[in-house]
Chains A and B, each alone.
Chain A
Amino acid sequence: MSQSLEITNLNVNIGDKRIIKDFNLTIPKGEVHAIMGPNGTGKSTLAKALAGHPDYEITSGEVLMDGESILDLEVDERSRAGLFLAFQYPMEIPGVTIANFIRAAKNARLPDGEDLNAPAYYKELYEKMDALKIDRKFTSRSVNEGFSGGEKKRCEILQMAMLEPKYAVLDETDSGLDIDALKIVSEGVNALRGGNLGALVITHYQRLLNYIIPDQVHVMYDGRIVKSGDKSLAEELERKGYDWIKEITETAA
């Protein structure tokens, strides 16, 4: 059984519009891949389609997680199977505290009738909050409500750290972060890196990749990957801009 997140010939429609086009990508466990690409090219669509968003219709293709198809699973089943999505725009949940939210998410992973050990849970939560330099006061704040952009992103990483997924898609987790936060969040991701996590990092900025060094960089354009390479591809892209990608795509076509 292959230990990877394997996306083959994936096509995704929103309404009648085809957004993701014959998309192929394999992320072996333990690796971090980055996707860069212009606005509106389908990066978030890919992320949400993987997570099972009901508005995103998968018209063909396959997604295997460690060899098993996840396409017939419900959103929550995919999550419990080990897929995590750090949202580009995390939702606010009024009245539900971060502590209760993450606790509910962890409880959902336990067999029926079993309950989380509260002291152990809080110990873990505080440790991980400390590591991400999130003030402990945040535990009693409602999820994302009134959070600054950067606080929301940090909270996404906290959730990821608490839920210990097998595969994570981070959708522009770096945007909205100040320099210090960028480092902290990157350290958070790096700490989870290694044998147990495969990650897909969506970003617009090469700078993030100085902190989270990717095994591969992919450039996405018009719903598909048009170029792949190592970390230096991100630097090249930053220098040459997307017109360069447009050119090579058009000459290839």
Chain B
Amino acid sequence: MTATATQLEIDRDKGDFKYEESHKYDAGVGLNEGTIDYICDVKGENDWIRDFRKRALKVFEGKPMPTHWATKDLENIDFSKIRYYLSGDNRSKKNWDDVPDEVKETFERLGIPENERKFLAGVEAQFDSEAAYSNIKEAVSKDGVIFMGSTEGLMEHPEIFKKWFGKVIPTGDNKFSALNSSVFSGGSFIYVPPGVKVSHPLQAYFRINAENFGQFERTLIIADEGAEVTYMEGCTAPKFDTATLHSAVVELVAMPGAKIEYITVQNWSSNVFNLVTKRAIAHEDAVVKWIDCNIGSRLTMKYPGVVLKGRRARGEVMSIALANEGQHQDTGAKMIHAADETTSNVISKSISVGKGRSTYRGQVHMPKHLKGCKNNTECDALLINSDSRTDTYPAITVRGEENYVQHEASVSKVSAEQIFYMQQRGLSEAEAMSLSVNGFVNDLTRQFPMEYSVELKRLIELEMEGSVG
């Protein structure tokens, strides 16, 4: 490759992009204690973290895959071929003006925020495992809000970090939370002091760039008593031929009266295994809301949960999953009621296109001794063409007569006659499909922050363009 050749390849139809790259630190392929020592040495981590990681490695090695209920495709992950740590970008810095127009255009179409485009195009140095933190960080720090990468958080605020880290999602929760606990890097750490209401959403953007590079970010958000915060996470990955693994752990702690809203819109390329554990603890009168939009990936397994630990706590999950040809979205929600008068609401919408497959797995748990708990669960599936497949596995264990649960599920189809009708008005097949899909998710996205529903709409359009010949 010559120095003048463009360093960026792009599949404009799909919005995929990748770069030539070279990393200063590379733990190599495969995972053993040596990998962990390498990570700890590079990051300069304390011994307690090193021990934590090594214990997690043992747990990971000892745990079986969740194959009794999960898809067989998980067996295709070859842990010995994955790179568990890369960092430090050695590329010479580029100028925004040097970035090819079609790349800028793709960013535009993807709705990637201005400040992040530079980072993505390699103009700014932050890369891969490191999340991009914008000026927001300084803006909020005057209220005592801590917003930084989790690696930094771990070192600079061990007293807060240690107290909550791994408490919401213990290392041994599942094989992938153990994996994450052993090799995590990147992700965000947020602490909002009592009573502080952060007016703007805090956001970070992650990206997988290296082939075979697993991304294991770790996010921990604590909203102290009466605090409020919204966090937005965007993910997109360029396309490679071999599978990549993304396995994040996100822990939220909402102290009494606090509110946390966690929004994800991700657009993984269709070779990514996206296996994420997300859970929150909501104390008395706290509210936690997960908004989770999953587009793309080869397999996504993700069931955001809320443990409703304090009286009158409320948990919500609103999720949208789009499974295109060759993709499997296995998503859902977990609501663990652990105090009286706790309420939860789950709305899940899935779209299956072609041979795409969507699965909803929900769990609602209300033990017998509780009173006045309520859950509402709504699962709607939309099928675009008859090959699509959708399954719903709601597991609702409700005991106690003073609790109330409501469950509704629907399956609808976009018919050929509907597409014909829309095409007769001048819309292309792809436009007709994305309009139907947007119509289907409309009542949910209306509740999202404006810029997020706009981005989602664009992503759906791109995805639909890719799905017709």
Residues on A close to B: CB < 8 A? 48, 51, 53-55, 74-76, 78-80, 84-85, 87, 90-96, 100-102, 104-105, 108-109, 142, 159, 163
The 8 closest A-B pairs by CB, nearest first: A95-B439, A96-B439, A91-B421, A75-B423, A105-B425, A79-B426, A95-B442, A108-B426
Contact (Cβ within 8 A) B428 A76: yes
B→A interface (CB under 8 Å)? 412, 415-418, 420-429, 431-432, 435-436, 438-443
- From A48, A84, A93, A108, B431 is in contact (CB under 8 Å) with A108
Structural contact, B426 and A163, CB atoms closer than 8 A: yes
Tell me the smallest distance from the CB of A191 to a CB of chain B, in Å: 20
B372 CB, min distance to chain A CBs, angstroms: 34
Residues of B within 8 A of A94 (CB): 412, 439-440
Asked if A76 and B440 make an inter-chain contact with CB atoms under 8 angstroms apart, the answer reads no
* Cβ contacts under 8 Å, A109 to chain B: 426
Q: Tell me, in angstroms, the Cα distance from A159 to B426 when the chains sit together.
A: 11
Give the Cβ gap from A112 to chain B, nearest Cβ, in Å: 11
- Residues in B neighbouring A93, C-beta threshold 8 A: 418, 421-422, 435-436, 439
Known: A93-B418, A96-B435. A101 touches B441 (CB 8 A): no
CA distance A163 to B438 in the complex (A): 22
Q: Are A96 and B436 in contact (CB under 8 A)?
A: yes
Let me know if B439 and A79 touch, CB within 8 A: no
Q: Are A80 and B426 within 8 A (Cβ)?
A: yes
* A215 to B147 CA separation, bound complex (whole angstroms): 74
Q: Are B423 and A95 in contact (CB under 8 A)?
A: no
Contact A101 to B425, CB < 8 A, known contacts A93-B418, A95-B440, A96-B439: yes
Q: What residues of chain A lie closer than 8 Å to B441, measured between beta carbons?
A: 95
What would be 26 A-B contacts, judged by CB atoms less than 8 Å apart?
A48-B420, A51-B420, A51-B424, A74-B423, A75-B423, A76-B429, A79-B424, A80-B426, A91-B418, A91-B420, A91-B421, A93-B421, A93-B422, A93-B435, A93-B439, A95-B440, A95-B441, A96-B435, A96-B436, A96-B439, A96-B442, A100-B435, A104-B425, A104-B427, A105-B425, A159-B425
Residue of B nearest to A106 (CB): B426
Hey, which chain A residues are within 8 Å of B424, CB to CB? 51, 75-76, 78-79, 84-85, 87
Q: Most chain-B Cβ atoms within 10 A of its Cβ — which of A74, A76, A84, A108?
A: A76
Residues of A within 8 A of B420 (CB): 48, 51, 53-54, 75, 91
User: Which residues does chain B contribute within 8 Å of A96, judged by CB atoms?
Assistant: 435-436, 438-439, 442
Q: Which residues of B contact A104 (CB under 8 A)?
A: 425, 427, 431, 435
Query: Which residues of chain A are near B439, meaning CB under 8 Å?
Result: 93-96, 142
Whether B425 contacts A163 by the Cβ 8 Å rule is yes
Chain A residue nearest to B416 (CB atoms) is A54
